[in-house]
Structure 1
Amino acid sequence: MANKPDWLQALLSVLAAFFGVQSERNREHDFSQGRPLHYVLAGLLLALVFVLGVILLVWWVLSLAGV
């Protein structure tokens, strides 16, 4: 991993961090080589997707329950 992370690598890195499986080596590489803006935007995007997914899941379960 000698090159700078691109958007996709930043997104995958943040996704791994969301699940708690980010390796120490990748974390160090992200902090030393990556652009903070990529990780902030990827984190916000994944947080938004997570929140919307939970909302949709709750709506679906409530509709199945007839509420």
Structure 2
Amino acid sequence: MSDTTDNNNRHQQPPRTPGVLRIMQSILAGAFGVQSDKRRREDFSHHSPWPYIIAGILFTTGFVGALILVVQVVLSGQ
């Protein structure tokens, strides 16, 4: 029985750090509220939340900046 346990432990790999594209997809899906439960669990299974936190802050900053720009363009046309 311990041989089976040892083999299972050898074949288990630690979760890989997600790539930039994967983080961007998760941030966008979360922002629009369309992220699947499976993907959410995968995101939270990684060791460090910092890539998601940083990407979320950057996305939010860019989104607010884009909204401000759109409002300024619309108001300047009046």
Name the TM tier (shorter chain): 0.7 to 0.9
Kindly tell me the number of residue pairs found equivalent between the two proteins.
Answer: 64
Distance in 1 (alpha carbons) for counterparts of 2:29 and 2:40:
10
Contact 1:5 1:34 in 2 (8 A): no
Larger radius of gyration: 2
Match of 1:16 in 2: 29
Moved over 4 A (4+): none
Structure 2 gap ranges (5+):
1-14
The 1:18–1:34 alpha-carbon spacing in structure 2 relative to 1, beyond 3 Å, is: farther
Asked if residue 46 in structure 1 is aligned to residue 64 in structure 2, the reply is no
Q: Which has the higher contact order (CA 8 A, sep 6+)?
A: 1
Deviation at 1:44, TM superposition (A): 0.3
Higher helix share: 1
Instruction: Calculate the TM-score normalised by the size of structure 1.
Output: 0.85
The 1:31–1:62 alpha-carbon spacing in structure 2 relative to 1, beyond 3 Å, is: same
